[in-house]
Structure 1
């Protein structure tokens, strides 16, 4: 069976640490969507490690890590990460596997991403400029190059044909940036990629399941960035929800077991787009400061606000979440009062539903206040030791969203997780 860990907000929920925490319980960790726009932060031997392409189980030597076909892969980023991981004594050629069907990000994808975002001006969506959108566009446009293609003798022609198509688009943007240096690095990275385990993933993973192996599917970004159900058009280019597991790995819906959703105890967002509970005051600044809220991929300051239960319940519904992991609960330790959003006011009417279009409309959050716990929770190991006011806060969330919070992360360390 396949269990799933995914984000329930706009990304940056702390999924990397959570996958790393659960990894010893699984035989296979598999990324099923997204690309190097994701940044999953781990702490290995006390040192910070941010993974953009490699699954977060890579530091567990007996765990197989798979990059699935739903991912878009930047070979240059992958090589850099493999080099960084190897410095910790990890042999990626032993426990990292890549689907033949995984689409490749080429240098002109990055150029197209940048050119497109520049043209949008003030209407830009906050792209990470990693080439993600153009790569997925080539996938749906049936122009993409895939990892399996690099092993074929006519790959250079395939690449040249795609580059020519891209150049026409870049000329239309009047984009003249030289990418020759990027191309040299790209082809060097392809030679490295050829030395890794390139597999027929859907057969590999289904065969493993039939033999009783436990699989954990690792999501990137967050549910509110889903191309269909997120805050369109300020979304990513893939399905970040549990439905993406099936198409991103080649497994049947019948194989999906637990869906573990990760949410912060408050909300953050990087880049543009709707954010109903965003705080433009000293409290928002304090959340950012205490939580060190800066993007793991971009370094951009994250927008901060109170938890949005309307959006969280929506995310739990569309994903079929069976358990919730709440991260960064310790960031709220010093706040005397906490607020949660329980409804939206839209045009004078109150609703607990997420509207299909959240951009360009005024959404006023309806708040419910809670007393803070004013206690350092970072050293707590047992649920019974959690402050009563913290338990009250969690219980309300449980009842509202209809899915139980079963784990609370109370610090960045691998062992700083309380099981409820």
Structure 2
């Protein structure tokens, strides 16, 4: 059974944990979009692993992991990540990690352009990680980007960088920032590219061969549906398709190969960076931060926290074609006396059960809540549905009813074994 795992909120839903848990029965694990602006934290074998570009399946040691064509790849960042994993005892060989030769490369000027444009937006900034992801995807769309295949011949890469730097340097000069020479760019990335080249290949035949041989492929989504370039809270989003469709276009495997879509959401809502968040609640944010929870794996930024928003989840379930829900960090609500679920928005006196497209609509969206009793019981030792408190079951059942998909997995702690299959 080939499965796409995607986030249903603004990222940070705990996808890495779910991917890691399901990888035991998988043969291949693939990433199809995003870059090292994403961060997946996995606790396994008594260790904490933070992954940005490498699929979580690498922690198992015997799975083929693929970075697909839809990913934008910072070669220096990826090499640092590989080194860190190897220092933690993880084996990474060209047989275990394959990188698409069609993946676009994040180059030093992309990071500078990202930071410059974010600074220029001032109070309207998007809240990017300033890692060059947006400018790299922009170059891809403008057909002026460089792919890994272009670095197989350095002279080809040099010619393409020469052309691209003419415009990039003009932009950097306009912002009063240092410019780049082609030699500077190549000198920075050359050692990393050389180290990665044994992993670089055409991954499409590998994926199709596995599909035809009835092997199990797991697609690991990065970020979340509400950051999708088409369906997210525009313009406060990322530059790729983070929904299930992006797994196909970002890997080369067709939709007909997909059997299941697991949508991952927290039992509440979080967001990092700018943009609308109707259910944001300062008291709930302070509650989680005081527990040492809800800080970004990539940037360390404190996440904005709020009550569960099923208006957003309802849309995300539809867009992704979710067949199963995985609800994580249910234990985060263990101490709460009562819980709120946003079931609709009030916008100018009208009830809306789906999110608005207009920016003014987001500004006016007021949550309409249902209140449910909390369970005030430690759930971290639960290993089955029956072990959960009745109020926790009622909360999860109401979530399922409101968004239109069944709860199939429950995360009640950070460890691999703290995952309940319903």
1:48 is the counterpart of 2:48: yes
C-alpha distance in 2, partners of 1:78/1:34?
13
Match of 2:210 in 1: 208
Preserved CA contact (<8 Å) 1:306 1:339: yes
Deviations 1:117-161 (A, max 9, x none): 111111101010000000000000001111111112422222333
Q: Does 1:20 align with 2:16?
A: no
C-alpha separation between the residues in 1 aligned to 2:89 and 2:379? Answer: 33
Paired position in structure 2 for 1:9: 9
2:322 is the alignment partner of 1:321: yes
Cα pair 2:109 2:180 within 8 Å, conserved: no
Q: Which residue of 2 aligns with 1:80?
A: 80
1:199 matched to which residue of 2? 201
Paired position in structure 2 for 1:124? 125
Greater Cα offset, 38-47 or 86-95: 86-95
Aligned residues of 1:33 and 1:219 also touching (Cα < 8 A): yes
Q: Structure 1 residue 286: deviation in Å? A: 0.4
- 2 CA distance for matches of 1:109 and 1:75? 13
The Cα shift of 1:44 comes to 3.5
Measured after TM superposition, the shift of residue 291 of structure 1 is: 6.3
* Distance of 2:338 and 2:85 partners within structure 1: 42
Select which of 369, 380, 402 maps to 2:382: 380
What residue number does 2:112 align with? 111
- Does residue 1:369 correspond to 2:395, yes or no? no
- Give the alignment's Cα RMSD to 1 decimal: 1.6
Structure 1, unaligned runs of 5 or more: none
Could you tell me how far apart the structure 2 residues matched to 1:293 and 1:337 are? 20
What is the rounded CA distance, in whole Å, between the counterparts of 2:103 and 2:281 in structure 1? Answer: 39
Deviation at 1:116, TM superposition (A): 0.5
Query: Which residue of structure 2 aligns with residue 394 of structure 1?
Result: 396
Aligned in 2, Cα 1:254/1:410: closer, same or farther, shift over 3 Å?
same
Q: Indicate the SS of the match to 1:304.
A: strand
Q: Is the 8 A contact 1:291 1:328 kept in 2?
A: no
Match of residue 334 from structure 2: 333
How far, CA to CA, are the matches of 2:187 and 2:326 in structure 1?
43
Deviation at 1:397, TM superposition (A): 0.9
Tell me which residue corresponds to 1:263: 265
Q: What SS does structure 2 have at the residue aligned with 1:271?
A: coil
1:30 alignment counterpart = 30
Deviation of the 1:177 alpha carbon: 6.9
Secondary structure of the equivalent of 1:171? helix
Matched, 1:351 2:352: yes
- The number of residues matched between the two structures is 418
Cα distance, 1:104–1:212 mapped onto 2, change above 3 Å:
same
